[in-house]
């Protein structure tokens, strides 16, 4: 689409003049040649085959390489300027995509969130990852969150709301964001609605990954994570390429490496069957009521997450386009 537009512009006399005047004197003749050639090739691609003759009839100058470099720079900056204008319009007139990825521990939020992030070009904001980073860095927030997280409890609403309030003001959230693990209580949902309404926006989609509790223990206890990227693996469902099974039938810890970087994988402190019981109590007692809170707005889409990962992803794609 863009190539076609640029081709048409290059083919127009006005662009030819402005390109030539923006280039260095030495290469302006060559640019005129290249623009003429591009116009003819554009014509060839989109209009008729006679245009090839126009290329042949142009006199080929000597400093074509320099002219090509100049022309590339001009085309690149023209495209960049046009993209900036379109982005500005988009930010001004289109609502932000504000999505909540919802589901119990082990439902697949961390598995599918990065794929939605790539697809939509908006960041995934995981409160769990942010809190774990705070714990690792030993910040005040981290000190308060550490014990409660390891036991599978919920960190206080004040802390988590404060983290999200600051994060969504950042530049990369301009076009929207995917919330993973937030809101987790009605108090958090109401605080989110309030901060969004202050800027004229609202939650646009809640994707609920629905999975029965009975399959979650196997998923959670078999999970290994690459700490830096958040990439999630599973000893049975998504093993890393390096995994070696020991004589006891369990994976050898030293063999668990990230597929992309080769760095060591780790297991989360709260990924135990004991902590999972508490995490699920919190999910059913405090988090599930959030679905009813958003249901009247028609934004809640449920996905069957109790199937193979590809099937879950297909349903997520359908839910995103609905």
The residues assigned a catalytic role are: 109, 184, 223, 268, 279
CB of 52 to ligand AP5, least distance (A): 54
Q: Which of 188, 179, 162, 201 is nearest to 123 (CA)?
A: 179
Residues that bind ligand AP5 in the complex, under the rule CB under 6 A? 103, 105-111, 126-128, 131, 148-149, 152-155, 160, 181-182, 184, 188, 219, 223, 232-234, 237-238, 270, 279, 305, 309, 312
Collapse the DSSP code of 265 into the 3-class scheme (helix H, G, I; strand E, B; otherwise coil) and give the result. Answer: coil
In the numeric block, the tokens 């689409």 are attached to 1
CB of 58 to ligand AP5, least distance (A): 58
- Exposed, middle or buried: residue 150 (CB in 10 Å: 0-12, 13-18, 19+)? middle
Cis bond upstream, residue 183 (ω within 30): yes
* Contact between 132 and 146 (Cβ < 8 Å): no
* Contact between 151 and 204 (Cβ < 8 Å): no
Cα 259 to its chain centre, rounded Å, is: 20
Task: Work out the angle at residue 144's Cα, subtended by the Cα atoms of residues 142 and 149, and round it to the nearest 5 degrees.
Answer: 80
Closer residue to ligand AP5 (CB): 51 or 127: 127
Closer residue to ligand AP5 (CB): 141 or 160: 160
Closer residue to ligand AP5 (CB): 96 or 132: 132
* Contact between 31 and 19 (Cβ < 8 Å): yes
Buried b (16+ CB within 10 A) or exposed e, 151-184: ebbbbebebbbebbeebbeeeeeebbbbbbbbbb
Closer residue to ligand AP5 (CB): 43 or 240: 240
Q: In whole angstroms, what is the distance from residue 171 CA to residue 118 CA?
A: 17
Q: Which of 318, 320, 296 is nearest to 99 (CA)?
A: 320
């Amino acid at each position: 689409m863009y190539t076609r537009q640029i081709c048409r512009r290059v083919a127009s006399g006005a662009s030819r003049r402005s390109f030539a005047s923006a280039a260095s004197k030495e290469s302006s003749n060559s640019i005129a040649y290249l623009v003429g050639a591009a116009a003819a090739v554009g014509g060839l691609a989109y209009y008729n085959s006679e245009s090839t003759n126009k290329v042949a009839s142009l006199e080929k100058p000597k400093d074509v390489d320099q002219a090509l470099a100049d022309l590339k720079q001009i085309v690149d900056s023209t495209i960049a300027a046009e993209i900036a204008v379109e982005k500005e319009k988009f930010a001004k007139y289109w609502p932000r995509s504000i999505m909540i990825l919802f589901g119990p521990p082990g439902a697949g939020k961390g598995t599918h969130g990065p794929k939605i992030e790539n697809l939509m070009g908006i960041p995934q904001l995981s409160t769990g990852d942010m809190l774990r980073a705070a714990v690792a860095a030993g910040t005040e927030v981290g000190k308060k969150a550490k014990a409660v997280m390891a036991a599978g409890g919920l960190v206080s609403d004040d802390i988590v709301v404060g983290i999200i309030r600051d994060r969504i003001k950042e530049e990369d959230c301009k076009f929207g964001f995917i919330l993973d693990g937030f809101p987790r209580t009605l108090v958090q949902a109401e605080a989110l609605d309030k901060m969004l309404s202050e800027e004229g926006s609202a939650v646009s989609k809640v994707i609920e990954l629905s999975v029965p509790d009975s399959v979650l223990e196997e998923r959670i206890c078999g999970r290994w994570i690459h700490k830096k990227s958040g990439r999630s693996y599973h000893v049975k469902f998504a093993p890393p390429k390096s995994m070696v099974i020991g004589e006891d039938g369990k994976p050898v810890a030293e063999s668990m490496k990230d597929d992309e970087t080769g760095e060591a994988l780790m297991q989360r402190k709260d990924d135990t069957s004991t902590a999972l019981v508490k995490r699920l109590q919190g999910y059913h007692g405090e988090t599930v009521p959030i679905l009813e809170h958003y249901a009247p707005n028609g934004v809640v889409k449920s996905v069957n997450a109790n199937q193979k990962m590809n099937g879950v992803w297909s349903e997520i794609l359908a839910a995103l386009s609905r």
